[in-house]
Amino acid sequence: MTTTDLKGTAHEAREHLERLAAQLEAHAFQVRLSAPSGLYPRLRVINPLAPSVTEDVLAADSADGEWYFWLSWAGRIGHASDIVTAAERIASVLHVIRR
């Protein structure tokens, strides 16, 4: 893969994460999109009711060219075209039971 290919892939990953960020913000989660040098972009998702409860989400393409969202511990969330389901699954990971 060339540097140009890698930049294009990172750009597409960022676009998917931006769409997911908007959906998560609509559900009152805090989000921070970052693109550390030399790494794929990542979306930090924070539960505002328990700020220590966070998860990093990545978007990556598979061998067949389809894009998926992934949790930082390599848990596949779902297809990048299904933002609503991905947001619901992330919310369930970051859910805190109120006492």
As a whole number of angstroms, the distance between CA 6 and CA 49 comes to 37
Read off the pLDDT of residues 14-50 as tens digits, 9 standing for 90 and up: 999 999 999 999 989 999 999 888 788 999 999 999 9
Model confidence at 96, pLDDT cuts 50, 70, 90, reads low
65 torsion bin: left (phi>0), alpha (psi -120 to 50), beta (else): left
pTM for this structure?
0.86
What confidence category does residue 13 fall into, taking pLDDT thresholds of 50, 70 and 90?
very high
Please name the residue that has the structure tokens 């294009």. Answer: 8
Over residues 51-65, the pLDDT tens digits come to 999 999 999 998 888
